[in-house]
Amino acid sequence: MLFSKLSNFLEELEKTSSRLEITEILAKLFTISSPDEIAKISYLSLGILAPNYKGIVFNAADQMIIRAIAKAYNTDINKVKSLYKQKGDLGLVSFELSKNKNTKLSVSDVYQKLLVTANENGEGSQERRVEKLSDLLKSLDNSSAKFVTRIPLGKLRLGFSEKTVMDALSQMEAGDKSGKKELEAAYNINPDIGLLAKLIKERGIKNLSKIVKPEIGVPVVPMLAQRLKSTEEMVKKMGEVSVEPKYDGLRIFIHFKKPDFVRIFTRNMNFIDESIFPELKNLGKYIKANIVILDTEAVGVNLDEEKILDFQATMQRRRKHEVEANAAKTPLQFQVFDILLCDGESQIDKPYIKRREILEKVIINSPLLKVDEHTITKDPKVVEELYRKYIKEGYEGVVVKKTTGLYVSGRTGWNWVKMKQETGAEGKLSDTVDCVVMGYTVGKGKRIGFGVGQFLVGIMDGDSIKTVTKVGTGLTDDQFRELKTRLEKLKVDEKPKEYQVSKILEPDFWVTPKLVVEIAADDITKSPNHTAGYALRFPRLVKFRDDKAVKDATTVKEVEKMYKLQKSS
Residues 356-407: tens digit of each pLDDT = 999 999 999 998 999 989 999 999 999 999 999 999 988 889 999 999 999 9
Q: Cα–Cα distance between 343 and 329 in angstroms, integer?
A: 35
pLDDT at residue 306, rounded to an integer: 67
pLDDT at residue 442, rounded to an integer: 85
Convert the pLDDT of each residue in 436-463 to its tens digit.
Answer: 999 999 866 555 667 788 999 999 998 9
The sign of the dihedral angle between the CA atoms of 299, 319, 520, 221 is negative
331 prior amide bond cis, ω within 30: no
Helical axes 77-87 vs 90-97, angle rounded to 10°? 120
Q: Cα–Cα distance between 456 and 312 in angstroms, integer?
A: 23
Q: Cα–Cα distance between 125 and 201 in angstroms, integer?
A: 36
Question: For residue 427, what pLDDT band results from cuts at 50, 70 and 90?
Answer: very low
Convert the pLDDT of each residue in 293-338 to its tens digit.
Answer: 999 999 988 766 667 776 776 777 666 666 666 667 778 899 999 9
Question: For residue 45, what pLDDT band results from cuts at 50, 70 and 90?
Answer: very high
**Coil, helix or strand at residue 464:** strand
Q: Cα–Cα distance between 208 and 180 in angstroms, integer?
A: 11
Active site positions, annotated:
246
Question: For residue 348, what pLDDT band results from cuts at 50, 70 and 90?
Answer: very high
Task: Kindly list the structural domains of the chain, giving each domain's residue range(s) and its CATH number in brackets, ordered by start.
Answer: 3-153 (1.10.3260.10), 231-420 (3.30.470.30), 433-568 (2.40.50.140)
CA within 13 Å, CB half, 512: 15
Convert the pLDDT of each residue in 112-168 to its tens digit.
Answer: 999 999 999 888 899 999 999 999 999 999 999 999 999 999 888 798 999 999 999
The residue with greater pLDDT, 562 or 28, is: 28
pLDDT at residue 423, rounded to an integer: 41
User: To the nearest whole number, what is the mean pLDDT of the chain?
Assistant: 90
